[in-house]
Amino acid sequence: MEAAATELHDRADAIGPPAPRGDDDIMARLRRSTAVVHERVEASLGLADPDIPDARYRALMISFYRVHAVLEPRLDTLFGEFDDPLLDWPGRRKLGRLTSDLGTLGVTPAELPELPSTAVPAVSDVACGFGALYVTEGATLGGQLIARNLSTRANLAAASTYFTPYGDQVGRRWRDLRQVMRRWVGTDRARADAVVAAAIGTFLAFEAALS
């Protein structure tokens, strides 16, 4: 998986327009700044374990739903009219898939208690939105591994559409997002700092909700 994901990144780097690269590149900064929390989340979830207990899987999917239920309407407001077609915000919504996965698991999402709105960082501007999107879209990379591990568990596999929302287009979707973010950040240090801070905040919100 690591090799396949790295290949995705390499391809993405080969195709995008000229943009800042090296240590200052926004995507490199995001990856570096969130590596520790990503590692913690990855290790604690148990989602890479093909023998994950059904109840644990159900609880995690409920938590993913509850975070997205707070986050997604905020991103709707922010990106509804964002003028870069490569972003394709509507195509990046995840609540529909989570609702369907929970339905498969016998859970009625509408009956779940809402997370307090403060459990997820505010999305007050585009930088916050991109920080959040980096996290939710990055999860589709690891999601491929998760879905593959669940493929022998028919009941769970049927409830894992959240992890593979783009099918074989996952590389292109990730590449498109990287391009949009690099374009928007450009060489603006303040924008880059704000995106990184938002990504860390969003990752921590997922970590807290999923633990």
By the criterion CB under 6 A, which residues form the site for ligand HEM? 1-2, 5-6, 9, 27, 30-31, 38, 41-42, 45, 47-48, 134-135, 138-139, 141-142, 145-146, 206
**Residue 1 gets which letter from DSSP?**
-
Q: Shortest distance, CB of residue 141 to ligand HEM, whole angstroms?
A: 4
Q: Which residue is nearest to ligand HEM (CB)?
A: 138
- Please identify, using beta-carbon distances, which residue of 110 and 148 lies nearer to ligand HEM: 148
Give the count of beta carbons closer than 10 Å to the beta carbon of residue 174.
21
Tokens at 78, concatenated: 């922010």
Is the CB of residue 115 less than 8 Å from the CB of residue 209? yes
Q: Shortest distance, CB of residue 188 to ligand HEM, whole angstroms?
A: 19
> 96 CB contacts (<8 Å, ≥6 apart)?
none
Q: Shortest distance, CB of residue 173 to ligand HEM, whole angstroms?
A: 12
SS3 category, 187? coil
Q: Shortest distance, CB of residue 2 to ligand HEM, whole angstroms?
A: 6
